[in-house]
Amino acid sequence: MTRLLIVGPQGSGKGTQGVRIAQAFGIPAISTGDVFRAAVAAGTELGEQVKAIIEAGDLVSDELTSAVVRDRLSHADAQGGFLLDGYPRNLTQVMHLEEFLEGRDESLDAVIELSVPRDESIARLSLRAQEQGRTDDTEEVIANRLAIYERETAPILGVYGTRGIVDAVDGVGSLDEITDRIVASLEARGLARPAAA
């Protein structure tokens, strides 16, 4: 049972690495950004609520986001562990998550901090904007999102750092190199991958 969180600025590659690590550990990767984008695309009530916020690069309210995550973590596939990507994103969300996990007698095993220099993040985001045409990847929105990261998300690493569960991993390199680095740091904590089927 492995419960993980991956944290990094937009453009750090945390989404891609999150999926790879979740696969390696046989757990679902739960990305709040993906959940919200899917809801917008499907035109659900949740999608209607968050569409304008996401397009401006602002954050959805803590209450709504935490409710969405609690719901997702209650699905059967998340009972044997999970990897969270993009949540918690500020100290209030850390509190919400902790309350929820404590109620299940659970806690996070490790927090992967993927670090990438600011220039590299911006270059990767601009490329993704061109390739995927994401409406939340304009230059102004990118700058807004990076500022929010520095101000609100970076402090959560302080909280988890005092618990000794943060693994800082260099996010520059090939996809395979970075995955190997993350797996090695998790294994060094005694978090075992399931035997290959």
Q: Which strands sit side by side in the sheet containing 2-7, from one edge to the other?
A: 29-31, 81-85, 2-7, 110-115, 166-170
Q: Report in angstroms the alpha-carbon separations of 32 from 67, 70, 120, 168.
A: 11, 11, 23, 22
Would residue 113 be called left, alpha or beta, if left means φ above 0 and alpha means ψ between -120 and 50 degrees?
A: beta
Q: Phi then psi for 156, rounded to 5 degrees?
A: -65, -25
CB of residue 26 to ligand AMP, shortest distance in Å: 23
Among 47, 49, 51, 59, binds ligand AMP (CB under 6 A): 59
Active site residue 89: yes
Q: Which is nearer to ligand AMP, 78 or 193 (CB)?
A: 78
CB of residue 123 to ligand AMP, shortest distance in Å: 17
30 touches ligand AMP (CB under 6 A): no
Among 2, 17, 32, 121, binds ligand AMP (CB under 6 A): 32
How far is residue 139's CA from residue 121's CA, in Å, rounded to a whole number?
Answer: 12
Q: Which is nearer to ligand AMP, 74 or 192 (CB)?
A: 74
Per 3-state DSSP, what percentage of the chain is helix, strand, and coil (rounded to 5)?
60, 15, 30
Interior angle at CA 169, CA 102 and CA 36, nearest 5: 55
87 touches ligand AMP (CB under 6 A): yes
Torsion angle, alpha carbons of 138, 11, 84, 174, to 10: 150
CB of residue 57 to ligand AMP, shortest distance in Å: 5
Give, as ranges, the residues between 135 and 164 that touch ligand AMP (CB under 6 A).
136, 145
Active site residue 134: yes
54 touches ligand AMP (CB under 6 A): yes
Q: Which is nearer to ligand AMP, 98 or 193 (CB)?
A: 98
109 contact partners, CB below 8 Å, separation of at least 6: 2, 3, 4, 165, 189, 191
CB of residue 31 to ligand AMP, shortest distance in Å: 6
Write out the catalytic residue numbers.
14, 89, 128, 134, 145
Residue numbers of the site for ligand AMP (CB under 6 A)?
A: 10, 32-33, 36, 53-54, 57-60, 65, 86-87, 89, 93, 136, 145
